[in-house]
Amino acid sequence: MVIEIADVIISGLINGSVYALMAVGLTLIYGVSKAFNFAYGSFYSLGGYIAFLLFGLSFINNYFLVFLLAAPILLVFGFFVEKVLVAPLRKRDDWEIKVMMITLGLALFLDNSFQVIFGSRMKSLPPFLEGGFEGGNFYLSHQDVGIFFLSIGGILLFRWFLNNTRTGMSVRAVAQNPAGAQIVGIPKEFVFAATFAISTVMVGMGGILLAQKYFITPMGGWDILVKAWVITAFGGMGSIRGGLYAAFIVGMLEAFVGWYFGMTWTLIVLFAVLLTTLAVRPQGLLGKWG
């Protein structure tokens, strides 16, 4: 019993850490540009498929190279999606709904392209670390530990980027006051595209990390989109710290509900918790209106 509960807590922590990485990406776009990205889940699958393709290349045999190559691909992809699809809509009055529509169209396009290119069968990635810690009935794989630390590392790296680099500071400035940021000479359009690109990298990396455990499927991103979305709303849209707390709460909740009631209940319980939170605190745990 104790070991079972320990297992559940560990799985909650590991999923929570990856969710945190992805939710921070989603909350970042919303916080900075108020745009909502429906294709976020497809970018998750895209990350997984890029890694799958990279592993098909003969000279690639470890994850370090995969991350090194996948990150720039995702970065450029995200940047161009923002520049070509989202940016032209921004000058319209009803651009929020138009952005939701166009990203939904993009999601349909990407998901079905994956289906045609890779087939609907599940694809798997090799585990990125072998072996594990053992002790009696207790088993903790090195892979899980690695995923946990990589996700946390990614978030810390992102935090460092926001606080200490010029681009990161301009991202924060645009998030706080777009007009003011523009007046002091920050290229607003570039910052929007850059945040979109960074968030694409974050969710794509999440895809590569989780694909080792849960496989890659063409439609697998929707589940992730809803979870990342629930986490951001739960923690407060635009609040990175709120997203972080919410991700671990959701990861734990999911692990315990799945263990106790069965996996079909996890979404229902998540939704119930979200609704209750929003009914009491419409802006989420740490969010602000605006």
Kindly state the smallest distance separating residue 101's Cβ from other proteins, in Å. Answer: 5
Q: Which of residues 195-224 bind other proteins (CB under 8 A)?
A: 219, 222
Total number of residues shown for the chain = 290
Q: Which strand (E) or helix (H) includes residue 132?
A: strand 132-135
By 3-state DSSP, what share of the chain in percent is helix, strand and coil, each rounded to 5?
Answer: 75, 5, 20
Q: Is 43 in the site for other proteins (CB under 8 A)?
A: no
d(CA 69, CA 51): 9
Q: Which of 98, 100, 101, 120 is nearest to 45 (CA)?
A: 120
d(CA 163, CA 274): 30
Kindly state the smallest distance separating residue 110's Cβ from other proteins, in Å. Answer: 8
Q: Which of 62, 112, 165, 176 binds other proteins (CB under 8 A)?
A: 112
Q: Is 93 in the site for other proteins (CB under 8 A)?
A: yes
Query: What is the total count of residues that contact other proteins (CB under 8 A)?
Result: 44
Instruction: Answer positive or negative: Cα dihedral of 141, 145, 151, 153.
Output: negative
Contact 50, 70 (CB under 8 A): yes
Q: Which of 106, 181, 193, 255 binds other proteins (CB under 8 A)?
A: 106
Q: Is the Cβ of residue 140 or residue 285 nearer to other proteins in the bound state?
A: 285
Q: Which of residues 10-39 bind other proteins (CB under 8 A)?
A: 30, 34, 36
The interface region with other proteins, picked from 8-16, 208-216, 244-252, 261-269 by CB under 8 A, is 261-269
Kindly state the smallest distance separating residue 16's Cβ from other proteins, in Å. Answer: 19
Q: Is the Cβ of residue 185 or residue 262 nearer to other proteins in the bound state?
A: 262
